[in-house]
């Protein structure tokens, strides 16, 4: 039952976010504005892969693109730090620390076990925000559900 509730909440949250900012290629400033409205100071922002935040305190989250600032963005991944652990969510279900050479040596826990986004969809930004919202509420219980 809890699995169904979490997945349903994720889907509903995703639809709301897409209604607000669209579902095709969300720019950083839209993700930042919504992230700041939802999480306040706990949302660190949206970054390119070569600008990984240096100081991440517990209960902070952010979104990163897997491409560096020198190239065009490609795909957003969500990160959430809780209880000293950094969780990374990729809607294509790839291990986050393999997606950028800048993240190779970071200890990132893969927070999903199956792909939730098709390759035809361009909604990785809204999916990242929806996941952050669900993780903030349910914690590790979202792993393997979304």
Instruction: Print pLDDT tens along the chain (146 aa).
Output: 588 999 999 999 999 999 999 888 778 889 999 999 999 999 999 999 999 998 899 999 999 999 888 888 899 999 999 999 999 999 999 998 888 988 988 899 999 888 989 888 889 999 999 999 999 999 999 988 88
Q: CATH number of the domain at 109, please.
A: 3.40.395.10
**What's the number of domains the chain is made of?**
1
Contacts 24+ apart (CB under 8 A), 26-30: 26/76, 26/123, 26/125, 26/126, 28/65, 28/73, 30/125
Is the pTM value of this prediction over 0.75? Answer: yes
Tokens 């949206």 -> residue: 46
**Domain enclosing residue 18, as ranges:** 2-142
């Amino acid at each position: 039952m809890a699995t169904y509730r979490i997945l349903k909440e994720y889907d509903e949250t995703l639809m709301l976010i897409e209604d607000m900012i669209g579902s095709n290629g969300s720019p950083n400033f839209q993700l930042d504005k919504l992230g700041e409205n939802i999480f306040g100071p706990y949302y660190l922002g949206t970054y390119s892969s070569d600008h990984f935040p240096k100081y991440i305190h517990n209960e902070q989250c952010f979104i990163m693109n897997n491409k560096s600032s020198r190239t065009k963005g490609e795909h957003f991944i969500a990160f959430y730090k809780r209880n000293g652990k950094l969780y990374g969510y990729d809607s294509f279900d790839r291990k986050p620390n393999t997606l950028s050479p800048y993240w190779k040596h970071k200890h990132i826990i893969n927070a999903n076990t199956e792909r939730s986004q098709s390759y035809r969809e361009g909604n990785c930004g809204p999916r990242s925000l929806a996941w952050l919202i669900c993780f903030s509420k349910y914690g590790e219980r979202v792993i393997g559900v979304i």
